[in-house]
Amino acid sequence: MRALAVFAAWLVFSSGLRPQALCLPVLPPSPSEDSACAGIEVELESARKALDENRLADAESRLMALQAAHQECATVLVDLARLRAAQKNNNAAEELFLRAIQMPSVDSTTYSSFAQFSLTNGQYQKTDYLVGRALEMNPDDPDALVIEAQILTMKRQNDAARRALEKACRLDPKNAEAHFQLGVWFDNRKLHSNAVQEFEKVTLLRSNDPRAYDYLALNLESQGDAKNAEEAYRKGLSVNTGPYFDSFLDYNYGRLLLKENRLQESRTHLDRALTLAPETRAVQYEHAKLNMRSEKYREARVDGERALSLQDRGGFVLDLQVYYLLASVYSKLGEEDLARKYRELCRTTSVPVQSAARE
């Protein structure tokens, strides 16, 4: 076991999980006085507020009345499409978007909104086309640039994606999503100082976004600033509801608390993480570590075997890490045959080069 422990010491036994980085539907601009949408600003704002607060029945009654009175207004159709998407009626939402882009009042943001809807639903070729149309109409549409950057990232055109995001931030310094996605770009490349700057901007611009606090905390942790990371986690948890809900916040905070040996506090969050993301290997593995540290070896065995049964395509927790944990658990339980099995797996299992670099 001594040789095994020495070999395993260089492995990082936990990794922070990054929250979902796709942005939410783009809001259409306020209609101008000379457009097909003239005179509806106040009522439209009330409808949007109801929609953002998830008062869907109120939003629907307001938007249907606006649509009946302003049938050529693409902006109203886009908001109706956002409503249908919130109601999980994607077919109706898509039909409304298709009608909106045929309206005389169509503008770049109509296409941007449709592109965001398509991106959220995994329709990447359609997204690419729609965001291209938006940028043809207005090359300086910040929301379209943010979506284009995400498509460019999927195409592995990373430098072009960064340029698009930086342009969006210059054009609209108060665009929270532009700063959020630029922060994600930096985070993915372990440029922690740059990422911290961007996520701090997001928390000022969009203080109800728990994902931004989660990313901020993870990057502060990577800089060795556990105190401010904990503060960011706590702030994120205080607003972790609504459209930006982050299912990994409790996991990431619980992992930090476990590293600091604050076992009871850690358990509160890792227990909750198990209910929020039960099919995630890293969550099961961290909970197993907590039980191991708490000398709850039978519970650690259940968690560890469950972790091993789950795939981890992101490479956050290697098979080798789980083998090492289970070897220790079975040794503590006095089940030497199983402990020997996992020690042998530790000895014979290589570390994937890509995963090791990620760790």
Q: Is the pLDDT of residue 32 over 80?
A: no
- Residue 66: pLDDT over 60: yes
Q: Which residue has the tokens 């969006």?
A: 168
In this predicted structure, the answer to whether residue 7 has a pLDDT above a threshold of 50 is no
User: Token digits for 214?
Assistant: 């989660």
CB within 8 Å of 135: residues ≥ 6 apart: 108, 141, 144, 145, 148
Stretch 72-84: mean pLDDT: 93
Q: State the Rg of the chain over Cα.
A: 24
What pTM, to 2 d.p., does this model score?
A: 0.86
The pLDDT-based confidence of 351 (bands split at 50, 70, 90) is: confident
Distances (CA, A) of 160 to 120, 143, 149, 180, 239: 21, 16, 7, 17, 33
Mean pLDDT of the chain: 90
Please provide the DSSP assignment of 150-176 as one string.
HHHHHTT-HHHHHHHHHHHHHH-TT-H
Provide the pLDDT for residue 18: 81
* Per-residue model confidence (pLDDT) at position 157: 97
Mean pLDDT along residues 125-150:
97
For residue 2, what pLDDT band results from cuts at 50, 70 and 90? very low
pLDDT for position 359: 32
* Distance (Å, whole) CA 206 – CA 201: 8
Question: Which whole number is the average pLDDT over 338-356?
Answer: 84
Q: Which residue has the higher pLDDT, 233 or 73?
A: 233
- State the DSSP code for 207: T
Structural domains in the chain plus CATH codes: 41-193 (1.25.40.10), 247-358 (1.25.40.10)
Give residue-wise pLDDT tens across range 196-234: 999 999 999 999 999 999 999 999 999 999 999 999 999
User: pLDDT tens for residues 267-293?
Assistant: 999 999 999 999 999 999 999 999 999
Mean pLDDT value of segment 66-82: 91
Q: How confident is the model at residue 31 (pLDDT cuts 50, 70, 90)?
A: low
pLDDT digits (tens, 9 = 90+) for 11-24: 444 568 888 765 55
Burial of 8 (0-12, 13-18, 19+ CB in 10 A): middle
Residue 158, both tokens: 């990373």
pLDDT over threshold 90, residue 4: no
How far apart CA 175 and CA 349 sit, in angstroms, is: 47
